[in-house]
């Protein structure tokens, strides 16, 4: 393992039990996160991206099962009892939630939130040290020190999200998961928070897994990007590389359907993400894929590394020796009913 690797995920699977059978929310996912790096995880709702984020931290709800390997600084998290996970996670792994309003206790001052967090993980700190550390982190998030003893309701939404980020960073974690940290915020405040996340690396040396549905956000703040579809990572690589030359048809279509100011025509992906109780056979994107070939519904795609560096799981990129004869012919299929489109 690369000494700079903070987190190493191998063949991770997460299921949820339902009446209809297991939902395979995460189905064989592998990736590494290097120290100080920001990895963006993007996908549509229901693709398993939030489950993956929680799974890595060992925070899955009851009724779920996890399998595979998550190694954080060479210590395995999967299959370890919750008590031990808590010790491994400790101060070194953090989580930033989507809704800052619901995660701060309205009856506790900001100073008390920080004291509680720091005391739990670093019991030897004096009150003076706690205050100094907290105020320093808050200042770096742009929260004036004069407001250290205020209550959460005295802050605006963007300020509360800054406080949430400061609460995660005050422990100086090596790795943080941020799950849609800007979705509940206004456009201008979102841009301010993205700037803060973008600057994390230079200010805190924290590795970040940024989960979002918006490719624009990834482009703003991530070094690398992993695109998730129906529980699997279909493409992963350097953000600039993936955006300028998307290898997987899903990445390409998702980029085309993102509406931004430079969009010149509206584009959408026909159909909707599959039901993860009974996912489509072979490549899970084949029913919606404009480039689908005969091999796609028959065989699971094999991950290949492209000359440009990205990893991609799509038969368009081979390996050719595994494609059965005639497999590259276009897939014949019935017209999609327009009802399925959306």
Partner 1 sequence: MPTKPEETRHEMPREMPHEMPLDQRPTLLDVRDLHVHFALRGGFLDRLLGRSSGAVKAVDGVSFTLRRGEVLGLVGESGSGKTTTARALLGLAPITSGSVRFDPDGTGPIELTKLSEREFRALRKKMQLVFQDPHASLNPAMDLATAVAHPLRIHKMAADRATIETQVRTAFERVGLTPPDQYLHKLPADLSGGQKQRAVLARAIMLNPALLVADEPVSMLDMSVRAKILELMLELKRDLGLTYLYVTHDLATAKFFCDTIAIMYLGRIVEIGPAAEIYADPKHPYTRALLAAIPEPDPSRVTARRLPRGEVPDAARPPLGCSFHPRCPSAFEPCGWETRDLHALLEQRWTKVSEEQYERERALVEDPVEMDDAGLVAKLADSRSGSGAAAALVDEMRADDPAEPLWRGVASIDPKPDGVEVAFNDPVDPGLLDAGPVEVACHLHDARFAALSSKEGRRPTP
Choose, by CB under 8 A, the member of 213, 252, 298, 306 that binds partner 1. 213
Residues near 250 by beta carbon (within 8 Å), at least 6 away in sequence: 227, 229, 234, 235, 269, 285, 288, 289
Taking CB under 8 A as the binding criterion, the range among 80-88, 115-123, 211-219, 323-331 that sits at the site for partner 1 is: 211-219
Residues 39-58 that bind partner 1 (CB under 8 A): 44-45
Does residue 136 touch partner 1 according to CB under 8 A?
A: yes
| Bridge-based pairing state of the strands 5-18 and 64-72 | antiparallel
Distance in Å, CB of 183 to partner 1, minimum = 10
Distance in Å, CB of 11 to partner 1, minimum = 27
Choose, by CB under 8 A, the member of 187, 320, 326, 335 that binds partner 1. 187
Residues 243-302 that bind partner 1 (CB under 8 A): 243-244, 253-255, 257-263, 266-269, 272-273
CA 265/CA 298 separation, integer angstroms: 34
CA 143/CA 29 separation, integer angstroms: 38
Q: Which is nearer to partner 1, 6 or 217 (CB)?
A: 217
Before 319, cis peptide (omega within 30)? Answer: yes
CA 175/CA 283 separation, integer angstroms: 32
Distance in Å, CB of 194 to partner 1, minimum = 7
Distance in Å, CB of 244 to partner 1, minimum = 7
Provide the mask over 59-88, with x wherever binding to partner 1 is found by CB under 8 A and - wherever it is not: ------------------------------
Angle, vertex CA 86, rays to CA 80 and CA 87, nearest 5: 90
Angle, vertex CA 183, rays to CA 181 and CA 189, nearest 5: 80
Distance in Å, CB of 255 to partner 1, minimum = 6
Choose, by CB under 8 A, the member of 191, 322, 329, 336 that binds partner 1. 191
Does residue 217 touch partner 1 according to CB under 8 A?
A: yes
Residue 186's CB is within 10 A of a number of other CB atoms, namely 12
- How distant, in Å, are the alpha carbons of 29, 67, 94, 175 from that of 14? 10, 7, 20, 21
CA 334/CA 130 separation, integer angstroms: 64
Does residue 139 touch partner 1 according to CB under 8 A?
A: yes
Q: Which is nearer to partner 1, 8 or 220 (CB)?
A: 220
Choose, by CB under 8 A, the member of 147, 150, 201, 252 that binds partner 1. 147
Choose, by CB under 8 A, the member of 189, 299, 304, 331 that binds partner 1. 189
Does residue 112 touch partner 1 according to CB under 8 A?
A: no
3-state helix, strand, coil in the chain (%, to 5): 35, 25, 40
The answer to whether the CB of 143 falls within 8 A of the CB of 163 is: yes
Residue 94's CB is within 10 A of a number of other CB atoms, namely 24
Residues 20-39 that bind partner 1 (CB under 8 A): none
Choose, by CB under 8 A, the member of 32, 180, 220, 235 that binds partner 1. 220
Tell me which residues touch partner 1 (CB under 8 A): 44-45, 132, 135-136, 138-140, 142-147, 156-159, 186-192, 194-195, 213-220, 239-240, 243-244, 253-255, 257-263, 266-269, 272-273, 337-339, 341-342
């Amino acid at each position: 393992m690369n000494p700079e690797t903070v987190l190493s995920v191998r063949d991770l699977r997460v299921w949820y039990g339902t009446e209809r059978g297991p939902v395979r929310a995460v189905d064989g996912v592998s990736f590494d996160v290097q120290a100080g790096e920001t990895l963006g995880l993007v996908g549509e709702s229901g693709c398993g991206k939030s489950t993956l984020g929680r799974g890595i931290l060992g925070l899955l709800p009851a009724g779920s099962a996890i399998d595979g390997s998550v190694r954080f600084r060479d210590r395995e998290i999967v299959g370890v009892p919750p008590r031990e996970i808590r010790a491994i996670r400790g101060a070194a792994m953090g989580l930033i939630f989507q809704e800052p309003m619901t995660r701060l206790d309205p009856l506790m001052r900001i100073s008390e939130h920080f004291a509680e967090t720091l005391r739990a993980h670093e019991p030897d700190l004096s009150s003076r040290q706690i205050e100094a550390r907290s105020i320093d982190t808050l200042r770096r998030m742009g929260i004036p020190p004069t407001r250290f003893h205020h209550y959460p309701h005295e802050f605006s939404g963007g300020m509360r999200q800054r406080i949430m980020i400061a609460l995660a960073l005050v422990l100086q974690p090596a790795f943080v998961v941020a799950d849609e940290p800007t979705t509940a915020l206004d456009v201008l405040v979102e841009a301010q928070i993205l700037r803060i996340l973008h600057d994390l690396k230079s200010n805190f040396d924290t590795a970040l897994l940024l989960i979002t549905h918006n490719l624009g956000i990834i482009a703003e703040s991530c070094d690398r990007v992993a695109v998730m579809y129906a529980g699997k990572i279909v493409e992963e690589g350097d953000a600039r590389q993936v955006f300028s030359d998307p290898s997987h048809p899903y990445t390409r279509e998702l980029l085309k359907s993102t509406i931004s100011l430079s969009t010149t025509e509206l584009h959408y992906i026909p159909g909707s993400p599959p039901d993860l109780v009974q996912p489509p056979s072979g490549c899970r994107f084949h029913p919606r894929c404009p480039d689908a070939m005969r091999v796609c519904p028959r065989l699971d795609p094999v991950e290949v590394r492209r000359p440009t560096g990205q990893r991609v799981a799509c038969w368009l990129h081979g390996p050719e020796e595994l494609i059965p004869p005639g497999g590259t012919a276009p897939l014949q299929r019935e017209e999609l009913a327009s009802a399925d489109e959306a």
